[in-house]
A and B are shown apart, each in its own frame.
Chain A
Amino acid sequence: MSTRKKVMWWIGGAIIVVYALFPIAWIISISLKAPSDIANGQFLPSSISWGNYETVLTGSASELFLPALRNSFGICLIATAISCLLAMFAAYAIARLDFPGKKVILSTALAVAIFPVISIVTPLFNVWRQIGLYDTWPGLILPYLSLTLPISIWTMSAFFREIPWEMEQAAQVDGATTWQAFRKVIVPLAAPGVFTTAIIAFFIAWNDFVYGIVLTSTEAARPVPAALGLFSGASQFEDPTGAIAAAALIVTIPVVVLVLLFQRRIVAGLTNGAVKG
């Protein structure tokens, strides 16, 4: 690459990074502004104030926010775990076995994934109230599975397909049962795929707003995105903008931590050297 080209790439990259990160910088700045400072028309706060964080974590909004944080973590982790486990088996079958209806399963999964959430949420609200799932953890875990399972099945079956079948056959010849071959050879090889899928599934569940606001009413199950919408200012003349920004920033942290933590696992290339390279 010539120097000129390199410079162009750098400039292009910088523009994209600024474009993508500017809203985040903005929200950081808002979260650090005192209420009187929010509408001052400047990007940076005139003086850094931690008041918003205090409001969210210990102050008036903490009753709303902290249980919601706990709910969000619990519900999303459970939904992710279940969907990963189910998707692992489903994807393995889709990638390895030849059975009638394979295409149907994949296209149904796709159909479910693209089905607009808003159109089923009202009937679901009624059904949930009838059968007692309204405002409970399982009442959110179930719809979250419908969001995360299709994408998990699709990504994982792509990963499974990349694992050479000989691996598994070699294990069987070496004396492994189908289950042992799956557990000792396929799963470790698919680990990057499983982690990637888990993170994607977790984000999808974590970011959901529609189910969260419709299917819950109290702090028993209300997740963070729904709770953020219910924040109110200190008085009715005051917008809770600063508190929302602080809370939004706090809920972004687990996502960032997750990516940093599993970054290395996500990086594919573990299968390099399995076969002649």
Chain B
Amino acid sequence: MASIEMNNIVKKYGDGFPAVNDVSLDIADGEFMILVGPSGCGKSTLLRMIVGLEDITSGDMVIGGKRVNDLAPRDRNLSMVFQNYALYPHMTVYENIAFPLRLAKTSDDEVRRRVNEASDVLELKEHLERKPANLSGGQRQRVAMGRAIVRQAEAFLFDEPLSNLDAKLRGQMRTEISRLQRRLGITTVYVTHDQTEAMTLGDRVCVLRKGKIQQVASPRELYEQPVNLFVAGFIGSPPMNFLPATPEGNTLKTPFGTIDLDAERAAKIAGHDLLLVGIRPEYFEDASLVDEAKRPLGSTFRARVDVTEWLGDSQYAYIPYDAPDSIKAQLRDLSKELDSEELRTQAIVSIDATSRIREGREAEFWLDSRKVHVFDPESGENLTRDPEAGAELTRMAAQDRIEQLEDSQAGGAPSGGAPAGGTQVGGATAASA
């Protein structure tokens, strides 16, 4: 196990296009780091540079205190799970998992012990003699993980490991990976374009855009204190709504009425004519269902609902609004960059599942103005971000992580007799039994 340090990493392809541009990132020992971003943001390239499958144009890659820029993948002692699993089709599951050990010339007894331990953890026992072609998608995924955990690697690298699974299995494997990582306490770098995976798995999440780091923070900080429009739009599902706004003293005029701001935030946005105000869907509510006590903390407005979606536990309403052309163009660009297609300017509003608001009617909504963020439409910068509050959230997450790690490792005490190298996998077996 080791920490991974990246200093000013640059990756330029033959045509001079920088796929990864000046990335500096420290991943602590035992940390679960997510690299996330839309397609083409350089996240996979960065992962492949860590493992050594891509050359580094400039910068330093330091793993466990050793500069590894010029080391071949096999000398870096990392294990990786590929997006398509890359199982060896001519070998049985057993031999697939044993492959790294065979290459390391491990004795047969040791191989058998370790493969059995890994297959216990991943519940692959009854499939060991089968060939990958005869396994289901989830089983293949587990074999790929088995091959990764069977040896004592410095770190695990995952390249979109769940994107080939169906939604239900993906949820199960997600929790499985999380549990496994905690038990083994091994440094993990996980690439995904799925923001749900990013939020649920990561201790910290690194959001990339066009090869540049936008923000590295705990999921909570990303959600509550995003640094810019891009991060705010990327994190959260359904995504944050961006409304055009013009400041007037301590208030913002938006298509959904005026929003009052406290003096501190009002001061931060001074000097701008046109702004974008970012409001998460859940900051809205059906006005008739809001507590009297809460009501004064926000503002109310009336709007016509275009479409409603009732999901049982929650309900979404879509409210179209008008925006100046410049804002429209910018929002379209942003949504394109986020791999989605925004056809019209509309706000997505989360309302209580019991709300009787109906499509095509006008209704009254309440908007919690305490947590809205205001963005500069030119630079995309978040003008009202509170770095201190954000840092606090990430500190708390780091604290949680350390406690969880201690808990899970104390809980999965070594089953006894296993040599030091095998205790982690053995411990996990005991805990899963």
Also in contact, A172 and B72, with CB within 8 A (given A273-B131, A273-B133, A276-B140)? yes
B177 CB-CB contact with A under 8 Å: no
Complex partner residue of B89 from A169, A173, A174, A274, CB under 8 angstroms: A274
Chain B interface size band reads 20 to 34
- Closest A residue to B77 by beta carbon equals A175
Also in contact, A167 and B88, with CB within 8 A (given A172-B72, A273-B132)? yes
User: Judging by beta carbons under 8 Å apart, are B90 and A188 in contact?
Assistant: yes
Complex partner residue of A172 from B73, B90, B140, B147, CB under 8 angstroms: B73
Docked complex Cα distance between A169 and B54 (Å) = 11
A44 CB-CB contact with B under 8 Å: no
Chain A residues near B78: list those with CB within 8 A. 173
For A26-39 the 0/1 string (1 means CB < 8 A from B) is 00000000000000
Select the residue from A177, A188, A271, A273 with max chain B CB neighbours within 10 A: A273
User: Judging by beta carbons under 8 Å apart, are A174 and B99 in contact?
Assistant: yes
User: Judging by beta carbons under 8 Å apart, are B82 and A166 in contact?
Assistant: yes
Complex partner residue of A271 from B77, B89, B140, CB under 8 angstroms: B89
Select the residue from B132, B134, B135 with max chain A CB neighbours within 10 A: B132
A124 CB-CB contact with B under 8 Å: no
User: Judging by beta carbons under 8 Å apart, are A270 and B90 in contact?
Assistant: yes
B86 CB-CB contact with A under 8 Å: yes
Chain A residues near B73: list those with CB within 8 A. 169, 172-173
A170 CB-CB contact with B under 8 Å: yes
B410 CB-CB contact with A under 8 Å: no
Complex partner residue of A276 from B52, B84, B151, CB under 8 angstroms: B84
- Closest A residue to B150 by beta carbon equals A174
User: Judging by beta carbons under 8 Å apart, are A173 and B103 in contact?
Assistant: no
A277 CB-CB contact with B under 8 Å: yes
Also in contact, A175 and B133, with CB within 8 A (given A271-B89, A274-B89)? no
User: Judging by beta carbons under 8 Å apart, are B53 and A169 in contact?
Assistant: yes
Select the residue from B83, B89, B90, B133 with max chain A CB neighbours within 10 A: B89
- Closest A residue to B130 by beta carbon equals A273
Docked complex Cα distance between A275 and B79 (Å) = 18
Chain B residues near A171: list those with CB within 8 A. 88, 99
A204 CB-CB contact with B under 8 Å: no
B100 CB-CB contact with A under 8 Å: yes
Chain A residues near B131: list those with CB within 8 A. 273
User: From residue B251, how far is it (CB to closest CB) to chain A in Å?
Assistant: 53
User: From residue B428, how far is it (CB to closest CB) to chain A in Å?
Assistant: 21
A254 CB-CB contact with B under 8 Å: no
Select the residue from B74, B132, B147 with max chain A CB neighbours within 10 A: B74
Docked complex Cα distance between A140 and B85 (Å) = 47
A107 CB-CB contact with B under 8 Å: no
Chain A residues near B52: list those with CB within 8 A. 172-173
A79 CB-CB contact with B under 8 Å: no
User: Judging by beta carbons under 8 Å apart, are B86 and A167 in contact?
Assistant: yes
Docked complex Cα distance between A170 and B99 (Å) = 10
User: Judging by beta carbons under 8 Å apart, are A276 and B104 in contact?
Assistant: no
Chain A residues near B103: list those with CB within 8 A. 174-176, 180
A185 CB-CB contact with B under 8 Å: yes
A235 CB-CB contact with B under 8 Å: no
User: Judging by beta carbons under 8 Å apart, are B80 and A277 in contact?
Assistant: no
Chain A residues near B137: list those with CB within 8 A. 276
User: From residue B151, how far is it (CB to closest CB) to chain A in Å?
Assistant: 8
- Closest B residue to A187 by beta carbon equals B90
B87 CB-CB contact with A under 8 Å: yes
Chain B residues near A172: list those with CB within 8 A. 52-53, 72-74
Docked complex Cα distance between A185 and B147 (Å) = 15
A272 CB-CB contact with B under 8 Å: yes
User: Judging by beta carbons under 8 Å apart, are A274 and B100 in contact?
Assistant: no
B164 CB-CB contact with A under 8 Å: yes
Select the residue from B77, B133, B147 with max chain A CB neighbours within 10 A: B133
Docked complex Cα distance between A276 and B140 (Å) = 8
B208 CB-CB contact with A under 8 Å: no
Also in contact, A166 and B86, with CB within 8 A (given A171-B99, A172-B72, A177-B74)? yes
- Closest A residue to B91 by beta carbon equals A188
User: From residue B127, how far is it (CB to closest CB) to chain A in Å?
Assistant: 13
Name A219-277 residues within 8 Å CB distance of B: 270-277
- Closest B residue to A174 by beta carbon equals B100
B357 CB-CB contact with A under 8 Å: no
User: Judging by beta carbons under 8 Å apart, are B74 and A176 in contact?
Assistant: yes
Name A141-188 residues within 8 Å CB distance of B: 164, 166-167, 169-177, 180, 185, 188
- Closest A residue to B90 by beta carbon equals A188
Select the residue from B74, B78, B86, B90 with max chain A CB neighbours within 10 A: B86
B51 CB-CB contact with A under 8 Å: yes
- Closest A residue to B76 by beta carbon equals A173
User: Judging by beta carbons under 8 Å apart, are B74 and A189 in contact?
Assistant: no
For A126-139 the 0/1 string (1 means CB < 8 A from B) is 00000000000000
A–B complex contacts, Cβ < 8 Å, 27 sampled: A164-B86, A166-B82, A166-B86, A169-B73, A169-B86, A170-B80, A170-B86, A170-B147, A172-B53, A172-B73, A173-B52, A173-B74, A173-B78, A173-B80, A174-B99, A174-B103, A177-B72, A177-B74, A188-B90, A189-B89, A271-B89, A272-B133, A275-B86, A276-B84, A276-B137, A276-B140, A276-B164
Nearest 10 CB-CB pairings of A with B: A273-B133, A275-B84, A170-B86, A166-B86, A274-B89, A174-B100, A276-B164, A175-B103, A172-B73, A175-B74
For the A-B complex with A170-B82, A274-B87, A275-B85 known, give 7 more contacts whose Cβ atoms are closer than 8 Å.
A175-B103, A175-B151, A180-B103, A185-B88, A273-B133, A274-B86, A276-B140
